[in-house]
A and B are shown apart, each in its own frame.
Chain A
C-alpha cells in the first residue's frame, strides 16, 4: 500500500498570505495525484488532479506541482473561504490512498 504523508498537520496563515502544503508518497505515483479540500459538514471538493491541473471552477490562486514522490499545493493569497482541511490522494495504484490532511487555519 502506498502511504501518503502530508505536512504540516496544521498551518496557521493570515488572510492574503501564501500557503504551501506538502504531500509525500512512500513510492512513486508519477503524476497520479489529486488535491481536495473539505469544510466542516461538507463533502470534499476537488482542487487539482494530475498533480498540477486545476479542476473546473477552481481559481488561479491554487496551484499544484511535483511528480514521483514529492508534491506541493500552493495557495498564493489565502481568502476566507480557503480555510479548510486539505487532502492529497494518489490514484496510481490500488488501494487508492489519501494523506492524513493539513488543516489550514486563520492566524
Chain B
C-alpha cells in the first residue's frame, strides 16, 4: 500500500525552529517528486514547497522562501521540511503529497501534522 506518514509537528515559540518528516512506503520513493502543502485553521490549502526526485531542484512559496528548506533522504524514504524563524501565520496542518499511487495529480497525501506557533 502506498502510504505517507507525517511527523514532527508540535508547539513552538515565535522565532523558533521545527523539522517535519514524512515517511514514505509502498513505492519507490527515489522515483517521485514530493511536495509540502499546509492548511491554516479554518482556511484553504496552500502549496509551500516542491523537491525533485533526486533532490537537485526545489521550489518554495513566497511566504516561506528563505525560512523553510525542503530536503529528502532517498536511502531512508524520508522527506523533510526544516522550518526556521517561525511566525504565528505559519501555524497550520502540514501535509506531504505525491503523485505515487496514481497516474497524475497528487494522489497520495500524508495524514497531516499540526504545527502551533505561540508564546
Contact = CB atoms under 8 A, between A and B. Distances in A.
A46 interface: yes
A86 to B, nearest CB: 11
Contacts of B46: 98
B118 to A, nearest CB: 21
Contacts, number: 64
B44 A101 contact: yes
Interface of B: 35, 37, 44-47, 50, 59-62, 95, 97, 101-107, 109-112
Contacts of A48: 105
25 contacts: A1-B62, A36-B45, A38-B45, A43-B95, A43-B109, A43-B112, A44-B37, A44-B106, A46-B105, A46-B107, A55-B104, A55-B107, A56-B101, A56-B102, A89-B45, A89-B47, A94-B50, A94-B59, A95-B47, A95-B59, A95-B62, A96-B50, A98-B47, A101-B44, A101-B45
A98 B45 contact: yes
